[in-house]
Chain A
């Protein structure tokens, strides 16, 4: 599939004509939106009567960027995602390494995680509010839950996929259990872990925004929901766009940092 911007955040080289076509496609969508909202279309099952036009959204975005409100909102969201994501990274990679490596620890640690895994992070919100003393902590917890499983599962997958011959070679070269983790298991699983981190970053944003809508004060999710309740309709879309950009940007950042740390790794071409 010749996607210009893949999920993994890698930009592929495309011919200028193809870029033009893609830009035109987006332009057409915006134009259709402009028309639908200014004509106040109503199809019965879906109505554009209350949908702000692109122009209004642009104006609202400009106003938000100029206002002092923006920074606290962004700070709040970025901090929550960061805290939850870092906690999920530590827990996910740590658990994944031992679960992937030891059958005994897999039997001890994995079953409870497997029971919790199908529960969507969003479903944790009420309980999280009850469990944690501050809504701040409960939101970080939701983010943590959202990011944990992609990171954990990809780490396990990466560890289980380590070439047995590499492990055997390392042992023959004198590597003990600790060095085995640091020198072989972890780097060998790293590409899979980075994929997990990148997906986890996406789900972290997804979960955070939902949590903020319900429990938040400040944050882009809160901003979006607040705009609805105070009937600032253009701001809803501004909030949505911020969420999209932040989520995609941080996922791409994770992938880029990962690739920078693995100069030996060439995706799509496994080393023989």
Chain B
């Protein structure tokens, strides 16, 4: 799309601490995390379940309040959700009562753009994710992979500086997941927004990212940084290359230093899983 876009989307996270829960249940989800990402970079956060990587994403999106440190995107402090920081959840959050086209056009509607214009743009984005023939159906009529593609289109219509993705393909079957990874790379090559992508799947992180940050179990800290120089565009065969497998071994060793202790409760970008712990002021 626009080549100037890669001048936007710089992320600076400094000494971020986040606590979740209340009272006796309060715990430190993130401890002293500092990250910076270049404009247009594809960054993967890799870590075990419950390590706080989704918490970090929620803070970047503006849904969670840090207890210390700062988050800036292009120099602007993050102080709440904003269309410039689009969020894609693990399971789609399309509005079931809106047809696909109107779901994609939602962000433009919020900006007060006229119906014809926003539908025109929404069609463009549906084309980008290969769903131009599905504009007139309800989300529930789509497969899981298609729903996530619509979700991506809906975020991209706002021309976000960064796209934040919380294990967006983990609920999909292996075949679909691979296709979605290729599609995401293809879309990203054209749109060139920065992406912060959360996953616990080592293959996925290695396949997608420019750079991987490996996180430790709770409290989440960055324990390793891996730069990936695999040529782009990348294709599925990459996962069988020697270098890929070497890095995969390395990641496995990082994620499973010895036998895994009992798994931690899953966190999400809105805080803990238990409902009612967080309130949104609308």
Q: Which residues of chain A are near B86, meaning CB under 8 Å? A: 172-173
Q: Which residues of chain B are near A187, meaning CB under 8 Å? A: 95, 97
In the complex, per-residue mask of B20-47: 1 if CB is within 8 Å of any chain A CB, else 0: 0000000000000000000000000000
**Known contacts A101-B282, A163-B93, A168-B269; A174 and B158 CB within 8 A of each other:** yes
A residues in contact (CB < 8 Å) with B: 101, 103, 163-177, 179-180, 183-184, 187-188, 190, 262-266, 269, 271-272
Contact between B97 and A190 (Cβ–Cβ < 8 Å)? yes
Contact between B97 and A173 (Cβ–Cβ < 8 Å)? no
With an 8 A cutoff between CB atoms, is B174 at the interface?
Answer: no
Contact between B110 and A165 (Cβ–Cβ < 8 Å)? no
**How many residues belonging to B are interface residues under a CB distance threshold of 8 Å?**
38
With an 8 A cutoff between CB atoms, is B256 at the interface?
Answer: no
B residues in contact (CB < 8 Å) with A: 61-63, 80-83, 85-87, 89, 91-93, 95-98, 106-107, 109-111, 138-140, 144, 147, 154-155, 158, 269-270, 275, 278-280, 282
Q: Which residues of chain A are near B87, meaning CB under 8 Å? A: 168-169, 172
Contact between A174 and B82 (Cβ–Cβ < 8 Å)? yes
**Known contacts A265-B97, A272-B144; A180 and B282 CB within 8 A of each other:** yes
Closest chain A residue to B86, Cβ basis = A172
Interface of B is mostly: loop
Q: Which residues of chain A are near B80, meaning CB under 8 Å? A: 171
Q: Which residues of chain B are near A177, meaning CB under 8 Å? A: 282
Closest chain A residue to B147, Cβ basis = A272
Q: How far is the CB of A99 from chain B (nearest CB, A)?
A: 14
7 contacts between A and B (CB under 8 A): A171-B81, A172-B61, A172-B63, A174-B82, A174-B158, A175-B110, A265-B97
Q: How far is the CB of A179 from chain B (nearest CB, A)?
A: 6
**Known contacts A174-B158, A180-B282; A272 and B106 CB within 8 A of each other:** no
Closest chain B residue to A171, Cβ basis = B81
Q: How far is the CB of B82 from chain A (nearest CB, A)?
A: 7
Q: Which residues of chain A are near B110, meaning CB under 8 Å? A: 173-176, 179
Q: How far is the CB of B193 from chain A (nearest CB, A)?
A: 14
Contact between B280 and A264 (Cβ–Cβ < 8 Å)? no
| 3 A-B pairs with the lowest CB-CB distances in the bound complex, closest first | A174-B110, A271-B140, A174-B83
Q: Which residues of chain A are near B96, meaning CB under 8 Å? A: 264-265, 271
A183 and B154 CA atoms in complex are apart in Å by 15
Q: Which residues of chain B are near A169, meaning CB under 8 Å? A: 87, 89, 93
Contact between B111 and A264 (Cβ–Cβ < 8 Å)? no
Q: How far is the CB of B159 from chain A (nearest CB, A)?
A: 12
Q: Which residues of chain B are near A183, meaning CB under 8 Å? A: 95, 106, 109
Q: Which residues of chain A are near B92, meaning CB under 8 Å? A: 272
Q: Which residues of chain B are near A184, meaning CB under 8 Å? A: 95
20 more A-B contacts (CB under 8 A) besides A174-B83, A187-B97?
A: A165-B91, A168-B63, A168-B87, A168-B269, A168-B270, A169-B87, A172-B62, A172-B86, A172-B155, A173-B83, A173-B86, A173-B106, A174-B82, A176-B110, A177-B282, A180-B282, A264-B96, A264-B97, A271-B96, A272-B144
Contact between A272 and B158 (Cβ–Cβ < 8 Å)? no
A272 and B61 CA atoms in complex are apart in Å by 23
Q: How far is the CB of A158 from chain B (nearest CB, A)?
A: 13
Contact between A272 and B95 (Cβ–Cβ < 8 Å)? no
Contact between B91 and A168 (Cβ–Cβ < 8 Å)? no
A262 and B282 CA atoms in complex are apart in Å by 25
Contact between A173 and B158 (Cβ–Cβ < 8 Å)? yes
Q: How far is the CB of B64 from chain A (nearest CB, A)?
A: 10
A262 and B140 CA atoms in complex are apart in Å by 13
Q: Which residues of chain A are near B89, meaning CB under 8 Å? A: 165, 169
**A166: contacting residue among B83, B93, B111, CB under 8 A:** B93
Q: Which residues of chain B are near A179, meaning CB under 8 Å? A: 109-110
Q: Which residues of chain A are near B269, meaning CB under 8 Å? A: 168
